[in-house]
Amino acid sequence: MIWTVVSILLSPWTLFSAISLFISYKWLTSTYDFFEKKNVHYEKPNIFFGNFTGMILRLETNFDMVKRFYMKFKDYKWYGMFAMRNPSLMIASPEIIKQVTVKDFDSFLNHRFIFNPEDEPILGNSLFVLKDQKWRDMRTTLSPAFTGSKMRLMFQLMDECGHNARKFLKSEAKGKGPIEMELKDFFTRFTNDVVATCAFGIQVNSLLEKDNQFYQMSRKATNISGLTAIKFMLVLNFHQIKKLFKIKIFDEEFTNYFYRLVVDTKQERALKGIIRPDMINLLMEARSAGQKPVNRFWTNDDLVAQCIGFFGAGFETSAALMSFCAHELMENTDIQRKLIKEIDQVREELGDKPLTYEVLQRMQYIDMVVSETLRKWPPLIATDRACNKPYVIADENGGEVKLNPGDVISIPIVGLHHDPEYFPNPDKFEPERFSPENRTQIQPFTYMPFGVGPRNCIGSRFVLMETKVAIFHLLSEFTFEASPRSCLAILLDKTSFQPKPKGGFWINMNTLIYCNLHGPSKGSKVFVSMYL
């Protein structure tokens, strides 16, 4: 019996398995002394999971995880976290955030490595992923697309989508009473149509044509769940495994569809001399070699990459923002009533004239509501930078941490946004935080929903405008009210990679009836919600 056990233990297969497990263990834990060597406070990681155990096992959301770590360690100004085996120095001090992302930006020029352009020619060439001088050149090329003048031109395309959404809902509500709907699905279809027209120059109506090809392909680009979520985690944290097994985030059908869409559209416009206020037109203008201010020839891969990257700002991110905004308005009826009053006043001033970019920009309360939504539910839970030269982070008390090229720092945006030191009673939805007089009192580098510094989100203006257009059109005709399936006092879904309420964004939309009153307030308007 003993010899049998010994022979099994000494068998080549057993020895090979033992050695493999030992090597795997040593490799997985080889970075776990990173913060100890640097005398940085951190929480002991678990093998393979690092500090992401709760999130990976769906015991907590990444939103709650980042916030929890921030509140635990924020007094230290910086602390350590492990994403599986990869260490990241979390910066909790607004002053240090300013130092590393703005003043010393050249030392933290790039995001952490995600995609190699050689392996992922589309994703690897998007603005978010690009590095060094190529990033600078592409940022300079794209910046004109998001100026006020370009937003003014794109506004017309967005407003048309807003009218289509309003028309669809009025048709659905006619004679049927309140409409119960899942907001995220509705807003995803709305933003899909906006991105289709503003980025790709095509017109679709995803509310009427629910299974159109553009929408189906768009969902592939942004629906990070199931197998895609697993692949995404592997790409982020185990680059060697990705390279070894040649893992790709998106299949060839997806990349081929958008590649042909962009290239064919570009060729047709060049042939027919078509000019349209969208991203393809801007990229066509900048494509020629030697064009100032960027002396670079952009390939078709570069053009397609930027159009697909546009989804990040205009599609999923905007749909989530709109959904959280509508949900908060549903829960806070006094705020919703105040916003509807502002919208009603604007519509009365416009008369039969359409909403314009300038009018929307002047609306203060809708800006306050959207800004507070971005604080409470930021689209970026955290952002990162990779150190590209030796650097020392120091504080006024003499503490310091030395960083080497390749080391990663992260900024826990959701933690800062929910810190009662900067935003008292942070779980309360309070748009007045962003009134003209209060906004100036917010401590710099504590509110950064679209990132911070030169690498902030280039499409933030687009997202804000798109969100305001959607909310304006819906509250022109409807009120947001709780449905039997609404998740009141939002409890985030632990099974979702992206923040959303447990069960989804369910809401009732009730038709808004305007009545002229007589007497002392003659001519004014009030709203009442009625089941039709």
Domain that holds residue 41: 31-125+381-447
Instruction: Give backbone dihedrals phi and psi of 261, rounded to 5 degrees, phi first.
Output: -60, -50
Asked if residue 344 has pLDDT above 60, the reply is yes
Q: Among 9-13, 196-200, 309-313, name the most confident range.
A: 196-200
Q: What is the model's pTM?
A: 0.90
Q: Which region holds residue 182: left if phi is over 0, alpha if psi is between -120 and 50, else beta?
A: beta
Buried b (16+ CB within 10 A) or exposed e, 423-450: beebeebbbebbeeeeeeeeeebbbbbb
Cα gap 253→275, rounded to integer Å: 29
Question: Which pLDDT tens digit goes with each residue over 226-251?
Answer: 555 666 666 666 666 666 656 666 66
Q: Is 94 exposed, middle or buried (CB count within 10 Å of its CB: 0-12, 13-18, 19+)?
A: buried
Which pLDDT score, from 0 to 100, does residue 253 have?
A: 78
Which pLDDT score, from 0 to 100, does residue 289 have?
A: 43
More confident residue, 265 or 390: 390
Does residue 457 have a known ligand-binding role?
A: yes
Q: Which region holds residue 263: left if phi is over 0, alpha if psi is between -120 and 50, else beta?
A: alpha
Q: pLDDT class for 314, splitting at 50, 70, 90?
A: low
User: Mean pLDDT throughout 143-149?
Assistant: 82
Which pLDDT score, from 0 to 100, does residue 191 have?
A: 93
Residue 176 within a domain: no
Which pLDDT score, from 0 to 100, does residue 224 have?
A: 61
Q: Rg of the Cα trace of the chain?
A: 25
**Inter-residue contact 279 to 144 (CB < 8 Å):** no
Residue 426 within a domain: yes
End-to-end CA distance of the chain: 82
Residue 204 within a domain: no
Beta bridge mates, 513: 528
Which pLDDT score, from 0 to 100, does residue 531 have?
A: 33
Residue 181 within a domain: no
Percent of the chain with pLDDT over 90: 53
Which pLDDT score, from 0 to 100, does residue 176 have?
A: 76
Q: Which of 167, 211, 212 has its CA nearest to residue 202?
A: 212
Q: For residue 311, what are its two tokens?
A: 């989804």
Q: Which of 425, 142, 467 has its CA nearest to residue 310?
A: 142
Question: Which pLDDT tens digit goes with each residue over 251-296?
Answer: 677 778 888 888 888 888 888 777 777 777 777 776 554 445 566 7
User: Mean pLDDT throughout 331-336?
Assistant: 96
Q: pLDDT class for 410, splitting at 50, 70, 90?
A: very high
Cα gap 141→291, rounded to integer Å: 10
Helix (H, G, I), strand (E, B) or coil at 90: strand
Q: Which of 161, 155, 40, 44 has its CA nearest to residue 465?
A: 155
More confident residue, 19 or 452: 452
Q: pLDDT class for 520, splitting at 50, 70, 90?
A: very low
Which pLDDT score, from 0 to 100, does residue 524 have?
A: 38
Q: For residue 362, what are its two tokens?
A: 């002047």
Which pLDDT score, from 0 to 100, does residue 226 have?
A: 55
Residue 68 within a domain: yes
Residue 330 within a domain: no
Long-range contacts (CB closer than 8 Å, 24 or more residues apart) made by 159-163: 159/354, 159/355, 159/469, 160/197, 161/190, 161/193, 161/194, 161/197, 161/469, 162/190, 162/469, 162/470, 162/472, 162/473, 163/473
Question: Which pLDDT tens digit goes with each residue over 413-455?
Answer: 999 999 999 999 999 999 999 999 999 999 999 999 999 999 9
Amino acid 194 reads V
Any idea which residue has 């959904």 for tokens?
323
Q: Among 139-143, 186-190, 508-512, name the most confident range.
A: 186-190
Instruction: State the virtual CA torsion across 117, 122, 126, 132 in degrees, nearest 10.
Output: 20
Q: pLDDT class for 528, splitting at 50, 70, 90?
A: very low
Number of domains the chain is built from: 1
Cα gap 139→145, rounded to integer Å: 10
Query: What CATH number corresponds to the domain at position 421?
Result: 3.30.43.20
Residue 77 within a domain: yes
Residue 428 within a domain: yes
Cα gap 532→518, rounded to integer Å: 24
Q: Is 152 exposed, middle or buried (CB count within 10 Å of its CB: 0-12, 13-18, 19+)?
A: middle
Q: Which of 118, 117, 141 has its CA nearest to residue 129?
A: 117
Which pLDDT score, from 0 to 100, does residue 476 have?
A: 94
Asked if residue 157 has pLDDT above 50, the reply is yes
Question: Which pLDDT tens digit goes with each residue over 74-111?
Answer: 999 999 999 989 999 999 999 999 999 999 999 999 99
Buried b (16+ CB within 10 A) or exposed e, 474-513: bbbbbbbbebeebbeebebbbebbbbbbeebbbbbbbbbe
More confident residue, 384 or 270: 384
Asked if residue 37 has pLDDT above 90, the reply is yes
More confident residue, 476 or 281: 476
Any idea which residue has 């990679």 for tokens?
497
Q: Which of these ranges, 8-22, 188-202, 419-433, has the smallest mean pLDDT? A: 8-22
